[in-house]
């Protein structure tokens, strides 16, 4: 047999074996009697996501609606050839996120403590490492700690007014302004520095944050590789966070901690609490944050852990709160009666608190909370939640066994737009979140912060900074949609979180004299 014939035979054999292997992989759900959908022979059901062709919200909703139309309580899809279990019914979701949480502890996110230390944060850590760190950090997010940071948030509104007062009677890129506002808040509370992004939008801090939320084709490929081949990704030292971003944030933390410790600086922020955990293993006003059978020494956190937690606090809090406020102001601009009703509540509540914006005053604003919840319902920043099966799981009232290592997807955006739970889902209606109406909906049909033990630890802070921003804005300005805003809104396929494609332009008019 000559060389060409041998080569041809090898290629043909490789193709046949690959076809048999892929065919076996793509029969995974069929063999288990789980409903599935037509898919690509190589990329599975989410080729458009891998190549950033459609917004994730559109892809996830299509998958959800396809299974829902079949009457299925769950389904199976493929990320390339990797099987993903899709929870459709809210009772199934409840089992995964809370009742049987011990089988779905991890998010299945790739991280590399050695080569990409910022990636080893609370959101991505797995197993015992996550559990221990969660216990250490939980006391830093109590209502008492939120009150401690409240004045720091309010101080950031001064810069917000300076920027917007220069934009009166003009079209304002509200997403950009609010992104700078939340950058200043998180920079101050998480890193203890004055970013001054509102007055200087081109500073280095703001520049580095832009890199975190852009989903390029190459980054999508790295994510895909880490899902189907995590060991290979670590061997290749794959990084989600670029070296310059990693080095920038670690340097800021190291310099900040060193300066505070040397000069005995006290500041009412998240960084101060992390430094206490580093030096004491507990917070000054807490008896203990230790886990059973863990010594005080083990309960301390390292400087590298401080950097990673400050980083995820920034990453999670900056974009999500900015987009929530952006979408909220857009809806209030289109629904003037709701805007006026909210403004009336703000004035009424502040009058009961000596016209001072305090933590307790924000907690008294029930209609504001309903409006934010309706915004998070219609525009959830996190489009879908991912869990990974950490222990083999037999689904209740079923013969289905979810194997260890299989990923689970919970389609948050699609559930929030399901008319079964939210009639006329495209209508903005804060009354959906009145106490009486909430009682008519099943649990786990509203998931902007997740649920169960791995729910977002910073949800209280996110709500607080969103409330402060909206109160300050609506008390001083009236908003309307500018004609330059393209409607209906389109979502950016390159963004990890739900975000508009292009600029969302609003008009604003000052309705209150400067104090």
The answer for residues whose C-beta is within 8 angstroms of residue 14's C-beta and 6 or more apart is none
112 - beta bridge partners?
A: 116
Q: Which residues of 208-232 are buried (b: 16+ CB within 10 A; e: fewer)?
A: bbeebbebeeebeebbbbbbeebee
Tokens of 392: 């083999």
Evaluate the CA torsion angle 81, 83, 88, 93 in order and state its sign: negative
Tokens of 439: 């009682």
Strands 385-388 and 171-173: unpaired
**8 Å CB contact between 253 and 269:** no
Q: What are the respective helix, strand and coil percentages of the chain, to the nearest 5?
A: 55, 10, 35
CA-to-CA distance for 72 and 85, rounded, in angstroms?
12
CA-to-CA distance for 69 and 351, rounded, in angstroms?
51
Task: Flag whether 456 is marked binding.
Answer: yes
Short-list 255, 242, 269, CA closest to 119:
242
Task: Report how far Cα 46 is from the mean position of its chain's Cα atoms.
Answer: 20
| Residue listed under structure tokens 């789980």 | 34
**8 Å CB contact between 493 and 51:** no
Evaluate the CA torsion angle 339, 340, 345, 346 in order and state its sign: positive
DSSP structure string for 311-361: HHHHHHHHHHHHHHHHHHHHHHHH-HHHHHHHHHHHHHHHHHTTT---HHH
**8 Å CB contact between 512 and 157:** no
Q: Which residues of 61-99 are buried (b: 16+ CB within 10 A; e: fewer)?
A: bebbebbbeeebbbbbbbbbbbbbbbbbebebbbbbbbe
Query: Residues comprising the binding site?
Result: 456
Binding residues for heme: 456
């Amino acid at each position: 047999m000559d060389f060409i014939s041998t080569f041809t035979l090898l290629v043909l054999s490789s193709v046949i074996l690959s076809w048999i292997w892929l065919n076996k992989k793509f029969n995974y759900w069929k063999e288990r009697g789980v409903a599935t959908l037509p898919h690509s022979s190589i990329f599975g059901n989410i080729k458009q996501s891998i190549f950033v062709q459609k917004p994730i919200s559109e892809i996830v909703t299509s998958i959800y609606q396809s299974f829902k139309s079949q009457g299925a309580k769950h389904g199976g899809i493929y990320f390339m050839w990797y099987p993903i279990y899709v929870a459709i019914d809210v009772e199934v979701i409840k089992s995964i996120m809370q009742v049987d949480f011990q089988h779905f502890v991890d998010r299945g996110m790739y991280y590399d403590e050695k080569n990409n230390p910022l990636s080893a944060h609370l959101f991505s850590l797995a197993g015992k490492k996550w559990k221990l760190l969660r216990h250490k950090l939980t006391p830093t997010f109590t209502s008492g700690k939120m009150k401690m940071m409240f004045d720091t948030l309010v101080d950031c509104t001064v810069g917000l007014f300076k920027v917007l007062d220069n934009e009166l009677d003009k079209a304002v890129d509200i997403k950009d302004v609010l992104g700078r506002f939340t950058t200043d808040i998180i920079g101050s509370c998480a890193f203890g520095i004055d970013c001054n992004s509102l007055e200087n939008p081109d500073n280095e801090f703001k520049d580095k944050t832009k890199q975190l939320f852009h989903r390029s084709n190459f980054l999508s490929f790295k994510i895909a590789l880490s899902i189907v081949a995590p060991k290979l990704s670590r061997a290749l030292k794959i990084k989600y966070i670029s070296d310059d971003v990693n080095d920038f944030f670690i340097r800021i933390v190291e310099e900040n901690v060193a300066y505070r410790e040397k000069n005995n600086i006290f500041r009412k922020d998240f960084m101060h609490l992390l430094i206490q955990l580093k030096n004491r293993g507990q917070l000054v006003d807490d008896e203990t944050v230790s886990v059973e059978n863990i010594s005080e020494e083990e309960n301390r956190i390292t400087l590298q852990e401080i950097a990673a937690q400050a980083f995820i606090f920034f990453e999670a809090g900056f974009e999500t709160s900015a987009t929530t406020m952006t979408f909220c102001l857009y809806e209030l601009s289109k629904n003037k009666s709701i805007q006026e009703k909210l403004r009336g509540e703000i004035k009424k509540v502040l009058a009961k608190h000596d016209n001072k914006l305090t933590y307790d005053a924000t907690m008294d604003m029930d209609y504001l909370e309903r409006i934010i919840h309706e915004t998070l319902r219609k525009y959830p920043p996190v489009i879908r939640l991912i869990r990974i099966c950490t222990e083999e799981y037999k689904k209740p009232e079923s013969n289905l066994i979810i194997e260890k290592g299989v990923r689970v997807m919970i389609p948050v955006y699609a559930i929030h737009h399901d008319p079964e739970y939210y009639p006329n889902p495209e209508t903005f209606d804060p009354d959906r979140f009145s106490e009486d109406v909430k009682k008519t909906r099943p649990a786990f049909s509203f998931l902007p912060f997740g649920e169960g033990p791995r729910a977002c630890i910073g949800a209280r802070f996110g709500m607080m900074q969103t409330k402060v921003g909206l109160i300050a804005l609506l008390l001083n300005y009236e908003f309307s949609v500018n004609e330059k805003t393209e409607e209906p809104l389109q979502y950016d396929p390159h963004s990890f979180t739900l975000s508009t494609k292009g600029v969302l332009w609003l008009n604003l008019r000052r309705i209150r004299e400067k104090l």
